Amino acid sequence: MAALRALLKLRAPAAWRGMVGRQATRSLSEFTSLEEKPQFPGASAEFVDSLEFIQPNVISGIPVYRVMDRQGQILNASEDPLIPQEQVLKFYHTMTLLNTMDRILYESQRQGRISFYMTNYGEEGTHVGSAAALTDTDLVFGQYREAGVLMYRGYPLDLFMAQCYGNALDPGKGRQMPVHYGCKDRNFVTISSPLATQIPQAVGAAYAIKRENADRVVICYFGEGAASEGDAHAAFNFSATLECPVIFFCRNNGYAISTPTSEQYRGDGIAARGPGYGILSIRVDGNDVFAVYNATKEARRRAVAENQPFLIEAMTYRIGHHSTSDDSSAYRSVDEVNYWDKQDHPISRLRHYMMHKGWWDDEQEKVWRKKSRKLVMEAFEEAERKRKPKLEYLFSDVYAEMPQHIKKQEEALAKHLKVYGEHYPLDSYEK
């Protein structure tokens, strides 16, 4: 973990340190009295007498931390997290089960059985690696592509299906569009559609945890596209100035819907923004589940111990379409997608690692794939048989006591259905 801790230190590269050092030397020689030194309260600096703008490329590219290569070989033994076989198998089972669920629910939407879906293809390593490094009491704010985090915490398949189908088992009572999961018992805050709103909310929750002096951390997931929203920048500053135990986890998957990163920003990714806000930052290989695990575990330890925020940028690739409302073939090539799917996939990388260890083989793979599909199909078929939630749930859970205007709406619906009920599939709803 020594290399990881070094990466988490905010150190400028040699070129920048040299430039600052030369300026500081000149400043000290020319402005010898204390009164001539800068006294501005807003920054730490020295005076210089030559006009020179800071270049965007003064800082060389932020390195990408990884533990194993694409063939599943550990690169540096000192960085091996030495995770027991049983837990590594849980990593793999979760990642592949999520992949299987994605395929079935994606096809379900294409067949008109559900209204919407978003897959997690290619990003499974970011989910599982980070989830495994947290405790069950740590609070999770997701965006909409973190189903693996919830699955790792034991959320059952039938509830995933219930939410996507909006049936009577859905904890949200059918009032959310698909993939907007939430589970209070597993400390997973219900997902909202508006982009980036969860980021400042997560900081507020972290500040509350700090005031409680609890041994907990908040982790907030978002994509690199969401990092361009004003909410993200406000949250970064909020977290640093109030010293909140929060981990900002950015999944940089290359595309904000149809907009590639090359058109989203000119800086060096998202991790480069952390130092500007006073946030310890690191960039990791998001397709390396162990690198994600190490970075999140160390960030969590320090966030709790030191009450400060951390920013993790996990470099990965969105293999699937942004959602079922998107056709990614319109803005990227099939060859590009195939490369990431076949050559640098987090699931295949972990499988190679397990095979090197003698923990997995082709026969086990065949058996598990068959079993995982059976588990998902059973939950899928059960979800389709369930009725929809009661119609009265349209009006409940907004106010502790239903106000008059909501009561009028409920009465109006009842009158409408009494006259025109034959035109609605009322038999499909619970009474």
Give the Cα separation of 345 and 146 in Å (integer): 17
349 and 397 both lie in a single domain: no
Identify whether 378 is a catalytic site residue.
no
> For residue 10, is pLDDT > 70?
no
Reply yes or no on whether the pLDDT at 357 is more than 50: yes
Residue-wise pLDDT tens digits, 142-189: 999 999 999 999 999 999 999 999 999 999 999 999 999 999 999 999
Joined tokens for residue 355 = 């095979």
The total number of structural domains that make up the chain: 3
| 318, 404: one domain | no
Q: Is residue 360 part of a domain?
A: yes
Please tell me the least confidently modeled range out of 20-24, 43-47, 91-95, 252-256: 20-24
- Is residue 149, in this structure, part of any structural domain at all? yes
CB 275 within 8 A of CB 69: no
Instruction: Band the pLDDT of 27: cuts 50, 70, 90.
Output: very low
- Per the residue annotation, which of 60, 193, 325, 428 is the catalytic one? 193
Q: With 90 as the cut, is the pLDDT of residue 352 above it? A: yes
Residues 126 and 107 in one domain: yes
Same domain as 267, residue 137? yes
Q: Is residue 72 part of a domain?
A: no
Whether residue 150 is found in the same domain as residue 21: no
411 carries an active-site annotation: no
Same domain, 292 and 352: yes
Q: Looking at 60, 92, 110, which one is the last position of a domain?
A: 60
Point out the catalytic residue in the list 30, 36, 60, 107. 107
pLDDT digits (tens, 9 = 90+) for 47-104: 888 998 888 776 678 999 999 999 999 999 999 999 999 999 999 999 999 999 999 9
- How far is 277 from 239, CA to CA, in rounded Å? 9
Dump pLDDT digits (tens) for 231-241. 999 999 999 99
220 strand-pairing partners: 141, 248
Domain extent, residue 420, equals 391-428
Contacts of 335 (CB under 8 A, 6+ apart): none
Q: Which pLDDT belongs to residue 37?
A: 78
Catalytic: which of 108, 322, 328, 372? 322
Looking at every residue in the chain, the average pLDDT score rounds to 92
Residue 148 to residue 153: CA distance in whole angstroms: 9
Query: Is it the case that residue 421 has pLDDT exceeding 70?
Result: yes
Same domain, 319 and 416: no
Residue 127 lies in a domain: yes
Q: Is residue 71 part of a domain?
A: no
- Residue 4: predicted pLDDT: 62
Residue 124, number of CB atoms within 10 A of its CB: 30
Confidence check: pLDDT of 313 > 70: yes
Q: Are residues 96 and 160 in the same domain?
A: yes
Does residue 334 sit in the same domain as residue 395? Answer: no
Helix axis angle, 346-357 relative to 124-132, nearest 10°? 60
Say if 65 falls within a structural domain: no
pLDDT over 70 at 229, yes or no = yes
Q: Which of 245, 250, 241, 182 lies closest to 216 in space, CA to CA? A: 245
Report the Cα 63 to chain-centroid distance in Å.
20
Task: Using a pLDDT cut of 90, give the percent of the chain over it.
Answer: 85
Q: Has 329 been annotated as catalytic?
A: no
Q: Which two tokens stand for residue 246?
A: 């929060």
Within 13 Å, how many C-alpha atoms sit on residue 288's CB side? 27
Active site residue 263: no
Residues 335 and 362 occupy one common structural domain: yes
Distance from the Cα of residue 141 to its chain's centroid:
8
For residue 12, pLDDT beyond 90? no
Contact status, residue 177 vs residue 184, Cβ threshold 8 Å? no
In a domain, 68, yes or no: no
Q: What is the pTM of this model?
A: 0.90
CATH number, domain with residue 159:
3.40.50.970
Tell me the two tokens of residue 202. 């997560």
Asked if the structure places residue 69 within a domain, the reply is no
Query: Is residue 16 over pLDDT 50?
Result: no
The answer to whether residues 160 and 228 belong to one domain is yes
Reported residue count of the chain is 431
Q: Which of 192, 323, 348, 396 is catalytic?
A: 323
160 Cβ contact partners less than 8 Å away, ≥ 6 residues apart = 101, 147, 150, 151, 181, 379
Does 46 share its domain with 99? Answer: no
